[in-house]
Amino acid sequence: MTVKNICCIGAGYVGGPTMAVIAKKNPQINVNIVDINQERIDAWNSKDLSKLPVYEPGLADIVRDCRGINLFFSTKIDEAINTAEMIFISVNTPTKTYGKGKGMAADLKYVELCSRKIAEVAKTDKIVVEKSTLPVRTAEAIKSILHNTGNGINFHILSNPEFLAEGTAVQDLLNPDRVLIGGESKEAIESLSKVYGSWVSEDRILTTNLWSSELSKLTANAFLAQRVSSINAISELCEHTEANVNEVAKAIGMDSRIGPKFLKASVGFGGSCFQKDILNLVYIAKSYGLKEVADYWEQVVIMNDHQKRRFSDNLIKTLYNTVSGKKIAMLGWAFKKDTNDTRESAAIYVADHLLNEQANIAVYDPQVFEQKVLNDLNYLNTRTERENAEGIYSASTPYEAMKGAHAIAIMTEWDEFKDYDWQRIYDNMKKPAFVFDGRSLLDKEKMNKIGFEYYSIGQ
Ligand code: UDX
Ligand code: UDX
Ligand code: ADP
């Protein structure tokens, strides 16, 4: 089947950038991104490109080039489904917050709603591509919903997990390590391969069966998260010995079997994928009675929670066991640099802990603003919205956030933090001036020379 029209349901961090790149590289294909969230769609359509709902380096340029030409954002879901030969499901699949599998299993509510919608409105044959991260065998559920419509329409289901990382989404999409397509219909796989084939070489397009494709996505994220938890576990050991975690990471990373990437000790991994996907893997393993497998992977999340807690505990302990009434400046709120996404960011949990200890927190993040900070804390339900608003605020400049502070906590590795005037910051802080660098971003020697009491993970 030649694809002339693509519909993508879900205009989020995955759907938005992926479809923008597909549109850019396939001028002959019309790409319609639809969403139920009118506000989000309006933001994607905003004239001012700095107002796009997803901040990603390079994304605004592509949207500017393609929007209104072969890339469209709207809430007209039925219409987009009908005109498309190929439909991507790219909606969110958060961890369940209720019922069976609460806190562990993926909530497939939104995926199911999409499948039902497609079944209800489709009038011609479609290729349906599962793009969201889903538990193994979800394609089966989608298939069962679509195949039971009884209206004689053929649906081919493909799994095409996305491996882009936020902050580098556009580069990852333009130069993927691999594109993975799982499915049964050779013809459908061929159609999707052609879409990617416009810019990805054939040897990087990998095809597998549906289940291998689904499981590969969960496994890739579990392995990546495991590396971070592994180096973080070593960072704690380093802090009790004379070893330096950065030196250890370099030394082991030069072993080609280990490799140098993804060995940066930190205040803990965040993001919408790692924790959710591991918990999902754990839940699936448990549901097959595989206790050892489940326990093995669960430890990665336990270690990560420990790392976040350890960071705030250490800060409190160093500030003479109390932060009550003290001003703590948090640099960064996003879960990593170059994104405005804050889902599962370590900053949220560290702030929550410090607020329990009655700290006054000032946050500065170049891409995250006050309402999002408050929403993230309110979502935890630890205290009332009013109490959160009284305990934390977003400063409009970094210098204002750090002025008069007792301590600074670096939560995100934004490049600009390195270039601040640290002498000026020191001069305007309470003494002793503490810095807790959760990202090993700054130079310890330089900071000590200015006069800071500087603590970094694993040193
Ligand atoms: C190991 C380290 O590789 C080496 O760097 C160190 O100096 C000593 O310990 P060794 O034990 O000799 O070397 O062999 P290695 O190739 O690492 O294999 C260890 C075990 O792991 C073997 O039983 C091997 O069969 C098994 N293995 C290895 C797997 O089961 N799967 C793999 O993918 C790799
Ligand atoms: C991840 C996967 O990398 C990507 O392939 C998948 O499609 C989605 O999930 P993402 O969560 O966007 O991507 O970002 P990633 O770069 O993987 O970082 C995740 C978290 O781990 C961040 O909080 C980051 O700061 C942290 N991290 C990463 C470390 O603490 N140390 C590292 O060495 C690497
Ligand atoms: P991801 O990181 O997986 O892209 P996001 O939360 O950023 O997740 O984006 C998912 C998008 O999917 C949201 O904009 C949400 O409004 C949209 N969405 C969820 N359910 C539906 C649905 N049934 N129909 C259309 N859009 C949906």
Domain residue extents for the chain: 5-208, 302-456
The residue type found at 53 is: P
155-159 and 179-183 beta bridge pairing: antiparallel
For the chain, the C-alpha Rg in angstroms (whole number) is: 23
pLDDT at position 151:
77
- Which of these is catalytic: 7, 66, 238, 273? 273
What is the third-level CATH fold of 5-208? Rossmann fold (3.40.50)
Q: Check pocket membership of 211 for ligand 3, CB cut-off 6 A.
A: no
Task: Name the residue of 44, 92, 117, 162 to mutate for ligand 3: max ligand atoms within 8 A of Cβ.
Answer: 92
CB atoms within 10 A of CB 54: 23
Which residues are CB-neighbours of 272 under 8 A, at least 6 positions away?
A: 13, 92, 94, 341, 343, 344
Determine whether 7 is an active site residue. no
Q: Check pocket membership of 113 for ligand 3, CB cut-off 6 A.
A: yes
Q: Check pocket membership of 44 for ligand 3, CB cut-off 6 A.
A: no
If you take atom 19 of ligand 3, which residue's CA is the nearest one?
91
pLDDT at position 1:
80
**HSE-up of residue 270 (Cα within 13 Å, Cβ side):** 28
The residue type found at 151 is: N
Instruction: Give the closest ligand to the alpha carbon of residue 255.
Output: 1
Q: Which CATH number is 302-456's, of 3.40.50.2300, 3.40.50.720, 3.30.365.10, 3.20.20.70? A: 3.40.50.720
**378 backbone dihedrals φ, ψ, rounded to 5°:** -60, -35
CB atoms within 10 A of CB 51: 13
**HSE-up of residue 40 (Cα within 13 Å, Cβ side):** 15
Which DSSP helix (H) or strand (E) runs through 62?
A: helix 59-66
**HSE-up of residue 28 (Cα within 13 Å, Cβ side):** 7
Give how far Cα 71 sits from Cα of 17, 27, 88, 113, 426, Å: 11, 9, 14, 24, 48
Complex ipTM > 0.90: yes
Burial 72-86 (b: 16+ CB within 10 A, else e): bbbeebeebbbebbb
* Cα–Cα nearest to 457, from 449, 441, 434, 447: 441
Q: Check pocket membership of 23 for ligand 3, CB cut-off 6 A.
A: no
Task: Name the residue of 14, 18, 33, 35 to mutate for ligand 3: max ligand atoms within 8 A of Cβ.
Answer: 35
* CA–CA separation, 304 and 222 (whole Å): 12
Q: Check pocket membership of 92 for ligand 3, CB cut-off 6 A.
A: yes
Which residues are CB-neighbours of 419 under 8 A, at least 6 positions away?
A: none
Task: Name the residue of 273, 311, 365 to mutate for ligand 2: max ligand atoms within 8 A of Cβ.
Answer: 273
pLDDT at position 324:
98
Instruction: Please indicate whether the domains covering 5-208 and 302-456 agree at the CATH topology level.
Output: yes
Specify whether the CB–CB gap between 360 and 327 falls below 8 A.
yes
The tens-digit pLDDT sequence of the chain (459 residues) is 889 999 999 999 999 999 999 999 999 999 999 999 999 999 999 999 999 999 999 999 999 999 999 999 999 999 999 999 999 999 988 888 899 989 888 888 999 999 999 999 999 999 999 998 777 788 888 888 888 777 789 999 999 999 999 999 999 999 999 999 999 999 999 999 999 999 999 999 999 999 999 999 999 999 999 999 999 999 999 999 999 999 999 999 999 999 999 999 999 999 999 999 999 999 999 999 999 999 999 999 999 999 999 999 999 999 999 999 999 999 999 999 999 999 999 999 999 999 999 999 999 999 999 999 999 999 999 999 999 999 999 999 999 999 999 999 999 999 999 999 999 999 999 999 999 999 999 999 999 999 999 999 999
Residue-wise DSSP of 277-326: HHHHHHHHHHHTT-HHHHHHHHHHHHHHHHHHHHHHHHHHHHTTT--TT-
